[in-house]
Chains A and B, each alone.
Chain A
Amino acid sequence: MIAAGVDVGSTATKAILIDENRHILARSCIKTGANVVKAAERVFRETVETAGIEEHDVTQVVGTGYGRYKVTFGHAQVTEISCHARGAAYLFPHTRIILDIGGQDTKAIRIARGGEVEDFCMNDKCAAGTGRFLEAAATTMALPLDEIGPLSLQHRQSIKITNVCTVFVESEILAHLARGRSPADVLRGVHLAIAGRSVALMRRVGLDPEITFTGGVSRNVGICAALEEKLERHLNVSPDSQYMGAIGAALFALDRALTGHSPAAAAAGA
């Protein structure tokens, strides 16, 4: 029995296939782009091809993320908040707090032992402190997005970035560079600024010793380091952290396949 989770995010679309033992069979991640329906179809097809199976071998598909209703072949939709919680609780059973930083959203989620969401807080109306903020910094400095995290770790000093606006931060970065500050020092400031906002969000749902960091931005080592420094503790970061929403969606899909219903998926009108 095979189940799939498809997470259509604002920036990236991810898919995961799992078998009845909850082992991951295939994963795929592509840019969402302008055609959300096509992105969902493509990423799903890629996982099916990687696993060497046919699409009809997949018993249940759950869509999640902002584009969850655009997963036209999905059997149910569950929000990425519930899916990140489910995925994180599966990979790290003792975690109670999840920080998810995606392309346009930052979420702090508090979960109960069973993985159900107890409380959550999100950034509102503003992309400051999200992946978009890092993209803006990378673009301004003409650096590939993948390089800014490692480069920030080479800082000698950290510069305080005071601007919280994703648009206006570009001119602040340029001003620091014009004053001769090193890119590493400036980037360190950028990463600390995001970490600071994220910690404030987490404090609103309550801090717990075990925190799991998910979402695309968790692949950035600079953010992980800045967060761990501010929180003074180690963060759980899975190599599959970007797929956490899709993993959770696949687990909900497997519930449906095995039992005919799952609490959150059934609740979502599935």
Chain B
Amino acid sequence: MADEYRYQGTGRNLQKDMLGDWFQRLSQAPARGEPVAYLFISGNIAELLSNFGFHLVYPEVTALQCGIKKTAGNFILKAEELGYSPDVCGYVKNDIGLLHSGNASPMGKLPPPTLLVCNYSGCRTYVKWFEALAEFYKAPLFMLDVPYRRDDEIDPGDLAYVTGQMNELIALCEKLTGKRFDIDRFRADLADTAKAEEYWVRILESARRVPSPFDSYFEAVFFMAPLYTLRGSPDCLRYYEAAWREIEERIAHGIGPAGEERFRVVVEGPPPWPHFRAFWEMFQRWGVVAVASTYSKVGGLFDQGVRHDPARPLESMAEYCMNCYTNWNLGLRRDLIRRYLEDYRADGLVIHSVKSCRSFSVGQADTREVFSNEYGIPTLFIESDLADPRYFSAAQLRNRIDAFFEGLAHRKLTGAAPARPLPVLEVRP
């Protein structure tokens, strides 16, 4: 029976190794004279840039790693010394503070950019962030303007607008690197990506089981990393083959992330990275499993049918760019959360609102109102920040979390029905 649990820990450990190797390659890039592109997670065009041999830097990932490794606080203070307001996004200030500290991140020294690609325009602050970096590094900035998902259907004009810009970017990359765009490699990479996405969806949808073998928030933040950062490399697909084996093994043995699963929740909003473990423990002690989350969709709504397609390389990539969670309008987000609550048989909704990220937090108060008052879904609203450790008040958070699950426990034991009947949901794209 020694090999009964052969794959447990694979998902967490393998991605950690992959990220470690990636940051090491980044630190070596300048000495090797290899080009480096900076870009954002949401709707990133990793396969397109790696086609030209670019190493990829995601300042958001750097910021969240600094948060987890507890160095973000000092970088944020450094940026505030330089005049950035306390109200500016903590990710941005982490990056600016890091930049002015010699770019020595806890993961290694980060290389300067050869090219900056602002591929997510749903957040105005992000545009300004890359403008500041372009000014500082005197590096070219390519603005890939991705239209917001305003309607239920994507406007064909919007798609053509994005693919048109991608063609311009390809020409720029050819000029900067002296390499020709290799469409065959691009198609092959997208085929691998699509396979990795299939595995990722299987992992996410395993949480429909009761009890769930997977936590789609607290574990997903690790399991999603390769797909959101290292697409276009063969390691990415291999990772998801291995990660799926871990989940299959959990299903076969009936094990899950929570010990005894007592509550199933859907989580909206990013985690507080500087206090990630303490935050998770506040839920673990109640036997809570996040069976679905919106944060795990910031790098693509693959469980909603989004796929890269080698037969339609640029078009499918443009569709992907537009179908990341924070690029969806509030109504689409609301309906997605509604479907998650039903499809994953969740007991309630947890909204973690972060001060930094307006792409998430704008509208969350309304979301709370709709779910609690109109749909009668038990909804917990808590606040802190994704990067700035100063906004995490442990006693207040714990009090709210405890009160919420006390109420849910009370309801389960008394068999109390939801406060109001659920109205029929009509919109289902």
Contact = CB atoms under 8 A, between A and B. Distances in A.
Interface string B387-425: 000010101100110111111111101101001000000
Contacts of A118: 378, 407, 419
A61 interface: no
Nearest to A113: B416
Contacts of B402: 79, 268
B260 interface: no
Given A116-B416, A119-B378, A204-B369, A82 B406 contact: yes
Interface in A239-270: 263-264, 266-269
B381 A82 contact: no
Contacts, number: 79
B410 A79 contact: no
Contacts of B378: 118-119
Interface stretch (A12-20, A24-32, A120-128): A120-128
A119 B383 CA distance: 16
Nearest to A66: B395
Contacts of A79: 399, 402-403, 406
B296 interface: no
A81 B399 contact: yes
A114 B416 contact: yes
A122 B399 CA distance: 11
Contacts of B103: none
**What size tier do the contact residues of chain B reach?**
20 to 34
A125 B383 CA distance: 9
A203 B13 CA distance: 47
B285 interface: yes
B372 interface: yes
Interface string B359-394: 000000000110011000011010100000001010
A116 B407 contact: yes
A204 B351 CA distance: 15
Nearest to B419: A118
A82 B399 contact: no
Contact of A117 (B381, B383, B399, B406): B406
A229 B286 CA distance: 41
A66 B399 contact: yes
A206 interface: yes
Nearest to A110: B419
A124 B396 contact: yes
Nearest to B393: A125
A204 B414 CA distance: 25
A78 interface: yes
Interface in A67-85: 78-82
Contacts of A51: none
Contacts of A263: 409-410, 413-414
Contacts of B399: 66, 79-81
Contacts of A112: 411, 416, 419
Interface in B320-360: none
A72 B203 CA distance: 43
A185 to B, nearest CB: 34
A268 B413 CA distance: 13
B416 A78 contact: no
Contacts of A206: 373
Interface string A77-117: 01111100000000000000000000000000000101011
A50 B410 CA distance: 33
A119 B351 CA distance: 13
A117 B383 CA distance: 20
Contacts of A66: 395, 399
Contacts of B405: 267
Contacts of B393: 125
Contacts of B396: 122, 124-125
A264 B402 CA distance: 10
Contact of A114 (B285, B379, B409, B414): B414
A116 B410 contact: yes
A268 B402 CA distance: 7
Contact of B406 (A78, A114, A125, A204): A78
Give the interface centre of B379, B406, B408, B411 by most chain A CB atoms within 10 Å: B406
Contacts of B372: 119, 205
Contacts of A269: 285
A268 to B, nearest CB: 6
Interface string A124-144: 110000000000000000000
Contacts of B403: 79, 81-82, 117, 120
Contacts of A81: 399-400, 403, 406-407
A263 B262 CA distance: 14
A116 B411 contact: yes
Nearest to B355: A125
Interface of B: 285-286, 368-369, 372-373, 378-379, 381, 383, 391, 393, 395-396, 399-400, 402-411, 413-414, 416, 419
Given A112-B411, A119-B419, 11 more contacts: A66-B399, A82-B406, A116-B414, A119-B372, A120-B400, A121-B381, A122-B396, A263-B413, A264-B409, A267-B406, A267-B410
Interface of A: 66, 78-82, 112, 114, 116-122, 124-125, 204-206, 263-264, 266-269
25 contacts: A66-B399, A78-B406, A81-B407, A82-B407, A112-B419, A114-B414, A116-B410, A117-B404, A117-B410, A118-B378, A119-B379, A120-B400, A125-B383, A125-B393, A125-B396, A204-B369, A205-B373, A263-B409, A264-B406, A264-B407, A264-B410, A266-B409, A267-B286, A267-B413, A268-B409
The 9 closest A-B pairs by CB, nearest first: A267-B409, A117-B407, A81-B403, A116-B410, A79-B403, A263-B413, A263-B410, A264-B406, A82-B406
